[in-house]
Structure 1
Amino acid sequence: MRVYIMYSRICFCIVLLFSAQACSSLLGLPSNPERSTMGESTSYTTELKKLPLPKEKIVIGVYKFRDQTGQYKPSENGNNWSTAVPQGTTTILIKALEDSRWFIPIERENIANLLNERQIIRSTRQEYLKDAEKNSQALPPLLYAGILLEGGVISYDSNIMTGGIGARYFGIGASSQYRQDRITIYLRAVSTLNGEILKTVYTSKTILSTGINGSFFKYIDTERLLEAEVGLTQNEPVQLAVTEAIEKAVKSLIVEGIRDKIWGKALDNNADYLSVVDEYNREQEQNNSRLVGNRFPNNYRQKFSVFAAIEGQKVKDDYVNPKMNVGAKAGVKYFINPSFNVELNANIFTLENQNIISRTFIIPELNLEYLILPKYKLSPYIYGGGGFMLSKDKVRQKMQLGAGLEYLVDKNIALRISSQYDMGFKDDWEDLASGKRKDQAVRFALGINIYIGKK
């Protein structure tokens, strides 16, 4: 018997291992070594390559475009001496200049190596070509730059926004977390003729890290415990974020140079250039009202809104075997200020204990709601208030508390997910008073909120 139990446990472990391997494949987790590939392109790589070509390419030099932050990677355990920003930003900038097809980059970062190699060539020719033709071709002169590019990565801010959401019920739980960092770049063009700074541009890029996980924890009996978990974490590569910010800076430099006639007046009447400048001006006008975290001073939300939601409802009363039911809610909101609003709604709630009782209520509710981040597209909110439970026999009173998330998919339309806890003032929802606990209910809702009127 013991041998049978031992082999059963071994087989169970093998099944679990294969299941874990299958789940990792479904989640896209790497299980085999991958071949080396070409580097990924960002969205601005394509935009740079699609820019209209210049009348004449500009010779440009970059001595140093470096990390000026001195920032190290954050570490939860001890010191981490790895830098948060890649140290090859000059190379990334030169690649972006090449992709734009507006410039001829020349080697200046390692100019000493270039000059040393040219000196070796001259010495070799003088030493070993003494008897050759005296009029052999000399080394051509080095190109000199009409414009130098200066600047660098001037800021790396960690954890500018963090958050998450999760829930656990009877040993089954799931959660999601996210973190945003931010990198900032300044780039300026300097004339080598007189040292004038022709143009300075500034770009930034957020770096997103997300993680999701789920777990299951339950005692099968007094001696056996079943536990399982699954999770996935994804971190946006810092190198790609730096590349995208630099490419955006190069594009901004080119377009602002066209607009301000830095690259010459010959570009004035070209329709391709004008369309690029118009598009950039619209983007800049919109960006003028943007704050950190994609937040705008003028809040998105209007004075009024109407909403509707579908709910999952479950009662906690004095009978056994409560059953989950589907209900609905609809109402209106009036915003006292961007954060606070008064909500009036009506909803259908079904109280049911399997094979015992089923009763439907019409419930009007009045709530005071607080939007925590009213100027963000994604905002948590909390609310509380009271209501009346209307049925055929009598009217009952209750109070409710809730919380949720709202995301604006458009300037007037938002999706909402929420959880609400209801508590009665009396133990009479099902006409059975037993125990000290008042009747209660838990609701989960998914709905839409439509904003109308003025901001």
Structure 2
Amino acid sequence: MLKSTLKGVTALWLIFVVLVVPACSPYFNQPMQTSRASLGVAAPGNEDLVNLPAPQQKIVAAVYKFRDQTGQYKPSVNGASWSTAVTQGTTTILLKSLEESGWFSPIERENLGNLLNERKIIRSTRAEAEAMTGKKEPVLPGLLFAGIILEGGIISYDANVITGGAGLRYFSAGGSGQYREDKVTVYLRAISTSTGEILKTVYTSKTILSQSVDFGVFRYVKFKRLLEAETGFTYNEPSEMAVKEAIDKAVQSLIIEGIQEGYWKLKNKEEMESPVIKEYFKEREEIQHADIHGQIMSNRRGLIGASIAGGVIHYKGDYSKPDLEPFGEAGIRLSTPNNLAFDLRLGRGKLAATENFELTVNIAEANINYFIFPKLKYSPYLQVGAGALTTGRKLGDFFNDTAADAVTPFVKAGIGMEYLVTPRLGVDFNASSTYMLNDKLDNLERGRFNDYFWTGKVGINYYFNLYK
């Protein structure tokens, strides 16, 4: 009876995990009924555009067409899709961004024929009224002409710029996740209507994220009782919002670049030091050193650094039932501007097994680290090294002739990940395997292989100087 109850509780617990834990966020937002029309949500980053300092005078701008120039169709895994990858109404989006900036007075040019026809109707109607009543009708005011014309469009849409995913399944229960990033690029240029000179050209890009997560279980919880449950969600960033964000950024860039070039002016010159403008110039400087994914590429990890780390050590030798024991180390690091870094480290730990084996060891080693992404804030790395350990009680026994017979040489290999919290301070995660060059470490010889041990540690690296 108790066993049956426990199995029932287990089944309920599995259902809870499957239906609630991995996907609670989308379930809180899932639609239960139709919704009413609402005002459009502001694009992310729109505050940088609307919070720009006021202009000395608004710029009259004309936009004839600002459209998708890629001809790109929406990618599909099920065959051809004749839907376009991005919205075709980008002229309207640009006009909205110009209005929100507070720097422009946009005038109608996209459907100029409709406007001119309507003005003809107004003139004709007024002429007829004047002929019938004899009263002179007011003259229709002239059209406002533009100081600049804005041209450009969406010139690139790249699908599947980055794709990836991960999954895990154990005893018919598990989950997986996948993601994909597309990229849209917008160019915008301002043209002087008096001279035809192209005053400024800017371009911006925006990634479009799609991701899916699913979780499921399929197993027998009791004889002839099968439990099957699954859940998941898919999120696709709206391409229209991504295009709006890219156009907002292009308009902001055009305004600030134009201020710097002297094409238009601020109402108050002091506002050139406003946070929005200063942040833009900082971003412009950083983007000069960015890769195609927008990640800042710069020299990191100064020439000399100090390290301290702690973790666990796991003995694998001739005694059975090995234990996990604490381990600590400190050292210095010499880094190059490229992929390589060299470590000199001293450490202390304990090798132990449940069956009557315990040995305190002091370790000295030299390592070569190869960083895969040396110019990013985070980088996985590969590590190889060599050194020696002594079973003496003190680190000074390395230099004590009487302890020479206790020194055992080794080679090692490992992998790690370093994340730079600041330009000088990095958090380091490392796992390595250390293999003895003889089988005398535990004074017992069994099998074909020498003694070895695994080490897992977390450390902090501090760099005293930085490369320029």
Which interval holds the TM-score relative to the shorter structure?
A: 0.7 to 0.9
Please report how far the alpha carbon of residue 211 of structure 1 lies from its aligned counterpart in structure 2 after TM superposition: 7.1
Please report how far the alpha carbon of residue 106 of structure 1 lies from its aligned counterpart in structure 2 after TM superposition: 2.5
**Counterpart in the other structure of 1:366:** 366
With normalisation by structure 2, the TM-score equals: 0.78
Q: 1:139 to 1:374 in 2, by over 3 A?
A: same
**Counterpart in the other structure of 1:301:** 301
Please report how far the alpha carbon of residue 422 of structure 1 lies from its aligned counterpart in structure 2 after TM superposition: 2.6
1:291-330 superposed matches below 5 A? 291-294=291-294, 298-330=298-330
Residue 379 of structure 2 corresponds to residue 379 of structure 1: yes
Cα distance in 1 for partners of 2:346, 2:234 equals: 41
**Counterpart in the other structure of 1:87:** 88
Contact 1:59 1:105 in 2 (8 A): yes
Question: 1:49-93 CA distances to partner (integer Å, 9 max, x unpaired)?
Answer: 222222332222222212222334445554444443333322222
More moved, 165-174 vs 441-450 = 165-174
Contact 2:18 2:216 in 1 (8 A): no
Contact 1:73 1:84 in 2 (8 A): yes
Question: 1:347-371 CA distances to partner (integer Å, 9 max, x unpaired)?
Answer: 2333233464333322112111111
Please give the secondary structure, in 1, of the residue aligned with 2:45.
Answer: helix
**Counterpart in the other structure of 1:270:** 269
Cα distance in 2 for partners of 1:386, 1:74 equals: 51
Question: 1:192-212 CA distances to partner (integer Å, 9 max, x unpaired)?
Answer: 233222221222334456678
1:73-84 superposed matches below 5 A? 73-76=74-77, 78-84=79-85
Q: Which amino acid in 1 is paired with 2:463? A: Y
1:152-231 superposed matches below 5 A? 152-160=153-161, 180-207=181-208
Question: 1:352-404 CA distances to partner (integer Å, 9 max, x unpaired)?
Answer: 33464333322112111111121222222111112223213833333221112
**Counterpart in the other structure of 2:69:** 68
* % same residue: 43
**Counterpart in the other structure of 1:22:** 20
Contact 1:295 1:375 in 2 (8 A): no
Q: Which amino acid in 2 is paired with 1:244? A: E
Cα distance in 2 for partners of 1:434, 1:111 equals: 91
Residue 359 of structure 2 corresponds to residue 347 of structure 1: no
Q: Which amino acid in 2 is paired with 1:248? A: K
Cα distance in 2 for partners of 1:66, 1:159 equals: 22
**Counterpart in the other structure of 1:147:** 148
Contact 2:63 2:91 in 1 (8 A): yes
**Counterpart in the other structure of 2:411:** 399
Q: 1:454 to 1:102 in 2, by over 3 A?
A: closer
Q: 1:191 to 1:75 in 2, by over 3 A?
A: same
Contact 2:179 2:212 in 1 (8 A): yes
Residue 258 of structure 2 corresponds to residue 260 of structure 1: no
Please report how far the alpha carbon of residue 149 of structure 1 lies from its aligned counterpart in structure 2 after TM superposition: 0.8
Please give the secondary structure, in 2, of the residue aligned with 1:387.
Answer: strand
Please report how far the alpha carbon of residue 301 of structure 1 lies from its aligned counterpart in structure 2 after TM superposition: 2.6
Equivalenced residues, count: 450
1:39-78 superposed matches below 5 A? 39-42=40-43, 44-76=45-77, 78=79
Please report how far the alpha carbon of residue 299 of structure 1 lies from its aligned counterpart in structure 2 after TM superposition: 1.5
Contact 1:415 1:448 in 2 (8 A): yes
Cα distance in 1 for partners of 2:171, 2:327 equals: 23
Contact 1:259 1:277 in 2 (8 A): no
Please report how far the alpha carbon of residue 189 of structure 1 lies from its aligned counterpart in structure 2 after TM superposition: 1.0
Contact 2:287 2:294 in 1 (8 A): no
Cα distance in 2 for partners of 1:332, 1:185 equals: 47
Q: Structure 2: which 5+ residue stretches go unaligned?
A: 393-404
Structure with the bigger RCO (C-alpha within 8 Å, sep 6+) is 2
Q: Which amino acid in 2 is paired with 1:57? A: K
1:432 to 424, 437, 444: 444
Please report how far the alpha carbon of residue 150 of structure 1 lies from its aligned counterpart in structure 2 after TM superposition: 0.5
